[in-house]
Amino acid sequence: MKPERIFTGLMLVFVALAATVSFINPLFEAPDEIRHYRYIRKLVTERALPIQGQEEVRSQSHHPPLYYALAALASAWVPSPHTSAYDHPLNPFWGYRNWEVGVDNKLQYWHGEAERFPFREGFLAAMIPRWVNVLLGVLTVALTYQIGRRVWPDAPWLALGGAAVVALNPQFIYTSASINNDVIAAACSAAVLLLCVRIVQDGADHRALIWLGLAYGCALLAKLHLAAGGVLIAPALLWEAWQKRRSFSGHLAWMRRWMNGLLVVGGIALALAGWWFIRNWVLYGDPTGMRVVNELWAGRSARDNWWAIGQGLPYLWASLWGRFGYGQIPLPHGVYIAVLVVCVVSLLGYVRPGRHRFAVATALLLILTLVLYTAIVLYYILIQPAGAMGRFLFPALPAFALIVVGGLCGWLRTPARTVALALALMALLSALALGGYLWPAVRYPPRATISRLAESAPAAQFGDVARVLDVETSPEQVRPGEPVWVQVTWEPLQRTVRPYAVYIHLIDEIGAVVTQRDTWPGLGRASTTSWRIGRAFVDTYRLDVPEAAYAPNRAIVHLGLYEQEWGRLPLAMGGTPLPDQGLEAGTVEIAALPGDWPNAHFANFAGEIVFVGYTLEPRSLTGGETFTVTLYWQVLAEPRHDYAIFAQVLDTEYRVWGSHDGGGVAWTPGSVVTVTRQITLLPDTPPGSYPLQVGLFHSATGRLPVVAPDGHYLDERVLLGPIVVQGR
């Protein structure tokens, strides 16, 4: 087959993938998507640009308006109640252990039936901007292919390989299926690069200069950091003028040609985009508007933040290839390492002699594009905590893709083999990332397979909302710091007006809540407001036993459904109502950790003193009564201060219901210090479970931090217990 035909197929595959992702990824789950949408709705409903700091809710008002104007024009015909102040209901349990691979509460928002096809209640107005980006993604892929055709005029297969690296990049597909201005930035950057390559190869006639000026003007209106494209344009025009110097009379005629080219390109670009910078100057006293951006978005000085680059590089690399949402849907770490290895090995192919090499000027333009935008993103990491986003590198993605494919050809020798391998690897990466990790994290839970045992067992029913067909708790024994897994098979009976949450409590024999977990059903993917009636599904909930939990102990797992204002749903077993204590789902033995002290623990306070264990007696009491806590501390080094100990009974809102803070402890290096404190509860302490927070402090320096083995900050306290306060 000819590469042109395969390229056409590649474009169709990209459109199919991006369009599919635009449907399956719930609205506003992509990073900052709801803020980009507010910008569009501002243009549609008020016919005005947003002003930084003057919005009812925050939007991306610092960005130039090209993408938002295109999206507004495409979606303005759709009736929608959404304004520039539109907000979406949040999932209160979003982000649970968000660094982990999995499906547990990866959705940030609540999603209802109106957001699904055919998109009622005005949500079609949010889908159309996504489809605008799909077209811009197609344009970026096409421009990458055209750049490759000029880079390798005798090897179109390599151009196809570069286009495949862009088109099948999972993060680029995901971003092209979302509302944002990063895809138009990639398209404009690719257009500028293509025209620069054309000028270097064919010369700078008036038509080429006009097209370059228009492309650069669009780039300025697409995203601010594309202004750096001028650094690409100037050497391209300089190279072209220098190459033609022998055709001019006079030593400086080539210099005049270069200056004239710059004036034409710059004049057209400023005529197209100059008003945006004048507006910024009038509004903010700054043509870029970045001063206000840094004020509003917690910007910082670049001078002392070089550590941020080392910290941000792994995330930058991961989110260039596939880290979805706000980063809470990652791929396994090994995938990112494998992609890095492939890229590095490919680049090493340039050390081998081969046929398909770049012309010097073209090579410099590709490398300059890559270096330029990488440097800008690294600088942004220095000044902004959220700077390490791989999508910010999309303006350099076409150049990087072509460079990698060219290096890969150095190993494989033939362009056909190169493109075959590139297509295979990128197709595998896309299938793995989109089908194996994105789809499971955002889809409604799959239908459960019900065993005969579950069918014959009496079902526990919560009100008229749901039945529990099966429940299993594992393991039977854990130690502090280890997880308990509770697997529940739910059968939805009806939808609710407001979302009910699942609660799972681990309650010991004195009634203390050892640990608990609250979440929407489906681990955030199956709100009771959008349940599919009769379609059973399985949830597996993780409960983490606190590292300083009281042990040995025995606890029972209780689960149920509740709504914040309406309370718990009543439980019935086989039609018989049960007390309002939740469904008993299993028993767990909590074994003590090995150690020389009771309730052995290890909390390192700044490398000076280690908390190693404790006892509580009694653990069950009423308001106004007193309990004894014995704390064991191992002194590692000579303390810098004479630290005092705080021990406080807390509720979930951090109110203190009893405490004993004070010093008078002899911290002798190498010793184990035993400290006993009596704590009296306030007489009006409400019934419930209360942890005891313990730590060290000094009046001059505050609380001493708890640090990890590598020295980074963990906390400034240790939570013990809990104790139980009984009703009078």
Residue 332: the pLDDT is: 96
* Pairing status of strand 583-590 against strand 553-563: antiparallel
Alpha-carbon dihedral sign for residues 249, 255, 257, 263: negative
Cα separation, 487 vs 540, in Å, equals 4
Residue 433 belongs to some domain of the structure: yes
> What whole-number distance in Å separates Cα of residue 75 and Cα of residue 82?
12
- Listed in sequence order, the residues at least 6 apart from 702 whose beta carbon sits closer than 8 Å to its beta carbon are none
The pLDDT tens digits of the residues spanning 367-396 come to 999 999 999 999 999 988 888 899 999 999
Please give the tally of structural domains in the chain.
Answer: 3
Query: In DSSP terms, which residues pair with 621 in a beta bridge?
Result: 725
Residues 479 and 433 in one domain: no
Same domain (yes/no): 500, 642: no
Q: Residue 317 has which token pair?
A: 């690399």
**126 within 8 A of 27, measured Cβ to Cβ:** yes
Do residues 672 and 619 share a domain? Answer: yes
- Measured between alpha carbons, how far is residue 229 from residues 192, 213, 701 in Å? 7, 11, 50
CB atoms within 10 A of CB 587: 13
CB-CB contact of 197 with 369 (8 Å): no
Final residue belonging to a domain, choices 406, 440, 474: 440
Residues 219 and 312 in one domain: yes
Looking at the structure, tell me whether residues 436 and 463 fall in a common domain: no
Model pLDDT for residues 424-440, shown as the tens digit of each residue: 999 999 999 999 999 99
The answer, yes or no, to whether residue 581 has pLDDT greater than 80, is no
DSSP letter at 437 equals I
Give the model's pLDDT for residue 251.
66
Q: Is the peptide bond before 446 cis (omega within 30 degrees of 0)?
A: no
Query: In 3D, which of 93, 85, 132, 121 has the Cα closest to residue 109?
Result: 93
What is the per-residue pLDDT across 180-204, written as a single tens digit (0 to 9) for each?
999 999 999 999 999 999 999 998 8
Q: 436 in a domain, yes or no?
A: yes
Q: Do the domain assignments include residue 106?
A: no
Q: Among residues 435, 437, 440, 429, which one has the least CA distance to residue 166?
A: 429
Give the residue carrying structure tokens 């539109």: 86
Annotate 252-283 with three-state secondary structure.
Answer: CHHHHHHHHHHHHHHHHHHHHHHHHHHHHHHH
> pLDDT digit string (tens) for 295-344?
888 777 777 788 889 889 999 999 999 999 999 999 999 999 999 999 99
Answer yes or no: is 447 within a domain. Answer: no
Give the sheet arrangement for strand 466-474, strand by strand.
537-544, 483-492, 466-474, 460-462, 571-573, 576-577
Give me the pLDDT at residue 623, please: 92
Q: Where does a domain end: 384, 415, 440? A: 440
Share of the chain above pLDDT 90, in %: 75
In a domain, 245, yes or no: yes
Q: Mean pLDDT of all residues in the chain?
A: 92
Q: Is residue 112 part of a domain?
A: no
| CATH classification of the domain holding 466 | 2.70.50.60
Q: How confident is the model at residue 451 (pLDDT cuts 50, 70, 90)?
A: low
Same domain, 557 and 701: no
Residue 608, domain extent:
603-726
The domain spanning residue 706 has which CATH number?
A: 2.60.40.770
Omega cis (within 30) before 118: yes
Tally of residues, the chain: 728
**458 plus 582 within the same structural domain:** yes
Report if residue 115 sits inside a domain. no
Average confidence (pLDDT) over 658-678: 92
CA distance linking residue 537 with residue 524, whole number of Å: 13
617: helix, strand or coil? strand
Are residues 328 and 413 located together in one domain of the fold? yes
Query: What pLDDT is recorded for position 204?
Result: 87
> 422 by DSSP, 3-state: which?
helix
**Residue 354 has what pLDDT?**
60
**457 — pLDDT class (breaks 50, 70, 90):** low
Same domain as 456, residue 315: no
Q: What is the pLDDT of residue 723?
A: 93
**Do 385 and 508 reside in the same domain of the chain?**
no
From 568, 590, 612, give the residue that closes a domain: 590
Q: How far apart are CA 290 and CA 155, in angstroms?
A: 43
Distance from C-alpha of 19 to C-alpha of 11, rounded to nearest angstrom: 12
Asked if 271 and 393 sit in the same domain, the reply is yes
Q: Same domain, yes or no, for 188 and 268?
A: yes
DSSP tag of 291: H
Note the pLDDT of residue 271.
Answer: 96
Q: Taking 80 as the threshold, does the pLDDT of residue 49 lie above it?
A: yes
Which H/E stretch holds residue 334?
A: helix 333-347
Q: Is the pLDDT of residue 19 over 80?
A: yes
Evaluate whether residue 67 is within a structural domain: yes
Position 57 scores a pLDDT of: 86
